[in-house]
């Protein structure tokens, strides 16, 4: 079942250590087949060097495991809530990449300070609130996803224009039209977080890039008038 999607999700997961986004097993990637209402995710706690495409786990959008002998990622319910809330999403990734985690632990948005950020995220990458003690006790992973959804909806943030966030005291989630774009956006998030930290070391008072830089750089890669790259 979904052999091609399982292969893609496996390959996307293998990019996490290649791009230095994970240590040990601290990450996971999923991808969804919207027509069938099924998604594929990495199994929980399996070392990357031991992973195989056939190890990927298939679930439906109620969270029921429909294929696979291994337990799915412990973050599966977070992925599930994001897929259910945002139909534009085709792939999701969670990592503990250190520079993005630094902003999560500091409780700060990743500010849009330069054109690298402007190319991919339309504005600051938000930091989502702490969960309450009750939310963690009730259903930690599900409420992590619901917290992200709540933040984006309350602040009218488009998950297409801002394809990721950091969760307070936790770490980054990123997404895209498929699992590979999700990993790409996670790598960009980590890189711009690193750039911002260096920028603040050089000048603690440095601010965001001017709005017209954001408009220009985002629109030349996204939307009807995009002209970056080849046709």
Active-site annotation, residues: 119, 228
Report how far residue 72's alpha carbon sits from residue 69's, in angstroms, rounded to the nearest whole number.
9
In this structure, the strands spanning 171-176 and 91-95 are antiparallel
Angle (CA) 21 25 30, round 5°: 75
What are the backbone dihedrals phi and psi of residue 117, each rounded to the nearest 5 degrees, phi first? Answer: -65, -45
Strands 65-67 and 57-60: antiparallel
Altogether, the residues listed in the chain come to a count of: 231
Tell me if 173 sits within 8 A of 93, measured CB to CB: yes
Judged on CB neighbours under 10 Å (0-12, 13-18, 19+), 132 is exposed
């Amino acid at each position: 079942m979904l052999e091609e999607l399982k292969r893609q999700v496996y390959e996307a997961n293998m990019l996490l250590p290649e791009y230095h986004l994970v240590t040990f097993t601290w990450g996971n990637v999923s991808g969804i087949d919207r027509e069938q209402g099924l998604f594929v995710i990495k199994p929980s706690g399996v070392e990357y060097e031991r992973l195989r495409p056939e190890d990927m786990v298939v679930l439906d959008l109620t969270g029921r495991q429909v294929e696979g002998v291994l337990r799915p990622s412990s973050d599966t319910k977070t992925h599930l809530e994001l897929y259910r809330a945002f139909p534009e999403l085709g792939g999701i990734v969670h990592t503990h990449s250190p520079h993005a985690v630094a902003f999560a632990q500091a409780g700060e948005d990743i500010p849009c300070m330069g054109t690298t950020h402007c190319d991919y995220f339309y504005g600051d990458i938000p930091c989502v609130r702490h969960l309450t003690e009750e939310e963690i006790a009730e259903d930690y992973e599900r409420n992590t996803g619901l917290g992200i959804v709540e933040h984006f909806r309350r602040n009218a943030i488009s998950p297409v224009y801002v394809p990721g966030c950091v969760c307070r005291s936790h770490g980054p989630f990123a997404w895209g039209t498929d699992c590979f774009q999700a990993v790409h956006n996670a790598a960009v998030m980590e890189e711009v977080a690193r750039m911002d930290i260096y920028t603040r070391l050089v000048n603690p008072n440095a601010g965001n890039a001017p709005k017209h830089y954001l408009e220009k750089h985002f629109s030349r890669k996204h939307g009807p008038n995009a002209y970056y790259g080849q046709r």
